[in-house]
Amino acid sequence: MKLKLASLSFALAVAFSAHAADSTVKLSNVHLCCGSCVKGVDTALTDVAGVKAVTDKDAGTVTLTAADVATLQKGADALVKAGYFGKSDNKDVKVMAKTGAKGAKVHSLEVTGVHLCCPKCVHAVDDAVKSVGGVTGDDATKGAKTFTVKGDFTDKEVFTALQKIGLTGTAGK
């Protein structure tokens, strides 16, 4: 009996120490306006083995946990690829979006890959892009994979505005 208790104690100690060794990153200012946004985060992470996510819609945070920083980075990258953006509290995990914007003045910009699951997402995108000097409008719609921004503006500023509200995408043609 004592041997079984000692074995059980050892197994629990190993399990707790392995759990304590997990790495975490909290991403803040992520656009999470509704349950579908939260579901989108979960969907974005389904192909990233070893990452667990806890999403706080009201706080706009996603906390990722994994065995190592490299796996956390894969999780953060998957969220960016799904059109989300946020600020990392872990210096070893970077939230980087390769938008393809060159800082050029444009009259039309095709934007791809922004998370647009509901009217609130669309409204947030509309407000963000219209805050950029020279933008006259956009045609973002619920569920769209691509939308176009019109006016006389700098392409990078559109992505800066989107990232400020917790979303991102890439420049199309």
Is residue 13 very low, low, confident or very high in pLDDT (cuts 50, 70, 90)?
very low
∠ CA(121), CA(73), CA(22), 5° rounding? 115
Is pLDDT above 80 for 18?
no
Whole-structure pTM value: 0.86
CATH topology for the 105-171 domain: Alpha-Beta Plaits (3.30.70)
Map out the domains of the chain as residue ranges: 8-88, 105-171
Q: Is the pLDDT of residue 158 over 50?
A: yes
Q: Identify the pLDDT of residue 172.
A: 86
8-88 and 105-171 have identical folds: yes
**86/142 Cα distance (integer angstroms):** 21
> Is the CATH code 3.30.70.100 the one for domain 8-88?
yes
- Give mean pLDDT, residues 51-71: 97
- Which ranges in 82-154 belong to alpha helices (H)? 119-130
pLDDT reading at 52 higher than 80: yes
Mean pLDDT of 58-75: 98
